[in-house]
């Protein structure tokens, strides 16, 4: 029997059109067991497709179909619709012999009038605003019986049941756990909701009642102007709050939707060609953007990633998936103060995300000038300040100038190792940073036991431009005095053309050993003359680290090293330290 049925269906799909005697042919998209659901689905298809209709099939089922077509046109249209992913793959060609009464569109609502695709637009919008029901206008005779409601409820999955519990909780009728299990508490809350909304009280929500409840639940999103965006250039379909956003431009691999009122809210569609390596590279790159703060979960697997971020200003989420050589996804950015609405909005965006044919190409951008402090047309996350440091041990300990580190909510050692200060409150001029995860530097310092003398030549390395250059700069100078300006014997005064970003970097003797740590010249109440800088002597560093059980490599020799090797050695032990604030 089933073999015969399958043969008939296969014949309807694939046999030549000459088998159809009637000249009016249809592409049947789907069938629904509910009048309201059939009308709703037909209306949604009609937003992006012409000639959509819904018919009764009898026995409580309804068909959604496109047509009518002639025998000459139907197969070509059917194949085009499938190839462009406009209709499900289980759609088929039908003679329409089983179509009974047309239930949609009505005389006042034509399928053609809702078809809004514009060939002149680079992407098309299908408005899907969430609207409430006028309870007094509902035809309750169309509602399901209790038996039908139980059957439709059984078809719900666990996540859909949890969503109903959340909606009942939001409405004030449910206070137990969100577990997707319809126990006595859930049933009682359903009865209370049915009573309040003038439905028969039986503790089982019909398809119509569930739809009304969820639409009430979604009223919080109405003012956002939720629209279904079909972006043909990125090949992505998703809901976005276009009441608050507007399309801005393409900056591969992103399509930018910015706040219409200049606020922090924004959305971005991710679209690019790529493999696993490019997926990982995109995952790392996005985390450098200011729109994705570091406080939040990060997940990366073989076929996708997610990034959550939050600070005092914004809360954001990015998600991307890789399939058939394409990486597609989205980013949502929202004000932190509007967290409750953000959670609901994110769920709506996430559940609406689809992919279609098309991918953003590298040449699809605006062609504007690429800024050093920007990526994909977005600002990079900027530290409060950056300075230099010295790799002091094989375990990755870094020493740096301590000035200002108390302001930092987070300290990182380049490239992205979070670090903690081991001596935060002891009044030292320098800080000892310990990486929170395993960091094995290629090179680490040898600290000089032999003190420098007046007029000795020194070499210093540092990130003079605070990280704008990938490698440290090297500069040379000399020792002017073996004590600080206030007479501090742990300090030496140098004549060296250093910059603010060089603070915390190493000062090497001609032997290549670290004889001191360059201090921030801007610290203190007075501005020092040009090229006058102070450095903390190495012996102070050696002794203080030993009290914490951290022992460094030392060197007592004086044999000079060639300038080229000395510069290379100075660069190799220099770290970039960054201070971040939320």
Name the residue ranges covered by the structural domains of the chain.
2-116, 143-221, 225-365, 383-582
Cis peptide, bond prior to residue 68, ω within 30 of zero: yes
The pLDDT of residue 217 is 82
Report the 10 Å Cβ neighbour count for 43: 18
- Residue 116 in this model has a pLDDT that exceeds 50: no
pTM of the model: 0.55
- Residue 371 in this model has a pLDDT that exceeds 60: no
- 337-346 residues labelled b (16+ CB within 10 A) or e (exposed): eeeebbebbb
Percentage of the chain exceeding pLDDT 90: 50
Reported as a single tens digit per residue, the pLDDT across 518-550 is: 999 887 777 888 899 999 999 999 999 999 999
Q: Contact at 8 Å (CB) between 40 and 26?
A: no
Among 333, 341, 305, 338, smallest CA distance to 317 is for 333
Reported as a single tens digit per residue, the pLDDT across 487-521 is: 999 999 999 999 999 999 999 999 999 999 999 98
- Residue 407 in this model has a pLDDT that exceeds 80: yes
CA distances 238 to 228, 235, 257, 355, Å, are: 6, 10, 13, 9
Architecture per CATH, 225-365:
3-Layer(aba) Sandwich (3.40)
Query: For 383-582, CATH number?
Result: 2.40.10.120
> Any alpha helices (H) in 197-333, and if so which ranges?
207-217, 276-286
- Residue 126 in this model has a pLDDT that exceeds 70: no
User: Residue 466 in 3-state DSSP?
Assistant: coil
The pLDDT of residue 472 is 94
Q: Contact at 8 Å (CB) between 28 and 61?
A: no
Q: Contact at 8 Å (CB) between 452 and 509?
A: yes
Q: What is the mean pLDDT of residues 366-373?
A: 51
Of the candidate ranges 106-115, 269-278, 555-564, the one whose mean pLDDT is the lowest: 106-115
Q: Contact at 8 Å (CB) between 335 and 244?
A: no
Reported as a single tens digit per residue, the pLDDT across 253-267 is: 999 999 999 899 999
Query: For 143-221, CATH number?
Result: 1.10.101
């Amino acid at each position: 029997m089933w073999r015969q049925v399958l043969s008939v269906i296969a014949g309807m799909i694939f046999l030549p059109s000459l088998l159809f005697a009637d000249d009016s042919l249809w592409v049947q998209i789907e069938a629904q067991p509910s009048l309201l659901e059939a009308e709703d689905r037909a209306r949604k298809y009609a937003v992006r497709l012409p000639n959509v209709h819904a018919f009764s099939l009898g026995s409580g089922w309804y068909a959604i179909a496109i047509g009518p077509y002639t025998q000459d046109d139907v197969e070509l249209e059917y194949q085009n619709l499938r190839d462009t992913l406009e209709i499900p793959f289980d759609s088929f060609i039908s003679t329409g012999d089983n179509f009974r009464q047309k239930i949609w569109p009505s005389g006042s609502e034509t399928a053609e009038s809702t078809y809004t695709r514009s060939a002149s637009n680079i992407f098309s919008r299908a408005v899907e605003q969430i609207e409430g029901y006028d309870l007094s206008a509902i035809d309750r005779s169309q509602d399901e019986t209790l038996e039908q409601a139980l059957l439709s409820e059984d078809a719900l999955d666990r996540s859909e049941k949890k969503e109903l519990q959340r909606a009942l909780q939001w409405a004030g009728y449910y206070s137990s756990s969100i577990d997707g299990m319809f126990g006595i508490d859930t049933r009682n809350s359903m009865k209370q909701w049915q009573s309040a909304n003038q439905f028969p009280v039986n503790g089982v929500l019909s398809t119509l009642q569930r739809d009304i409840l969820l639409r009430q639940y979604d009223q919080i999103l109405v003012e956002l102007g939720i629209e279904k965006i079909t972006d043909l250039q990125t090949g992505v379909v998703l809901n976005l709050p276009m009441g608050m956003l507007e399309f801005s431009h393409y900056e591969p691999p992103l399509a930018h939707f910015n706040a219409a009122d200049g606020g922090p809210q924004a959305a971005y569609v991710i679209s690019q060609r790529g493999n696993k390596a490019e997926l990982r590279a995109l995952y790392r790159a996005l985390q450098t953007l200011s729109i994705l703060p570091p406080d939040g979960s990060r997940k990366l697997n073989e076929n996708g990633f997610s990034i959550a971020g939050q600070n005092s200003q914004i809360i954001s989420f990015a998600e991307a998936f890789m399939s058939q050589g394409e990486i597609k996804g989205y980013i949502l950015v929202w004000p932190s103060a509007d967290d409750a609405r953000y959670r609901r909005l994110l769920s709506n965006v996430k559940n609406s995300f689809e992919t279609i044919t098309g991918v953003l190409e590298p040449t699809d951008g605006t062609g504007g000038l690429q800024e050093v402090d920007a990526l994909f047309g977005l600002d990079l996350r900027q530290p409060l300040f950056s300075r230099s440091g010295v790799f002091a041990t094989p375990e990755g300990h870094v020493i740096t100038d301590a000035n200002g580190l108390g302001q930092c909510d987070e300290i990182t050692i380049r490239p992205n190792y979070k670090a903690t200060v081991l001596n935060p409150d002891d009044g030292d001029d320098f800080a000892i940073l310990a990486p929170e995860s395993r960091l094995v530097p290629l090179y680490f310092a040898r600290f000089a036991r032999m003190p420098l003398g007046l007029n000795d030549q020194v070499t210093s390395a540092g990130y003079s431009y605070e990280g704008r250059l990938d490698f440290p700069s090297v500069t040379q100078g000399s020792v002017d005095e073996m004590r600080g300006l206030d007479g501090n014997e742990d300090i030496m005064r140098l004549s060296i053309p250093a910059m603010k970003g060089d603070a915390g970097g190493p000062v090497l003797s001609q032997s290549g050993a670290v004889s001191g740590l360059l201090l921030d010249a801007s610290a203190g109440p007075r501005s020092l003359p040009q090229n006058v800088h102070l450095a903390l002597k190495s012996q102070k560093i050696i002794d203080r680290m030993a009290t914490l059980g951290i022992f460094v490599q030392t060197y007592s020799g004086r044999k000079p090293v060639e300038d080229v090797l000395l510069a290379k050695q100075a660069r190799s032990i220099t770290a970039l330290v960054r201070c971040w604030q939320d």
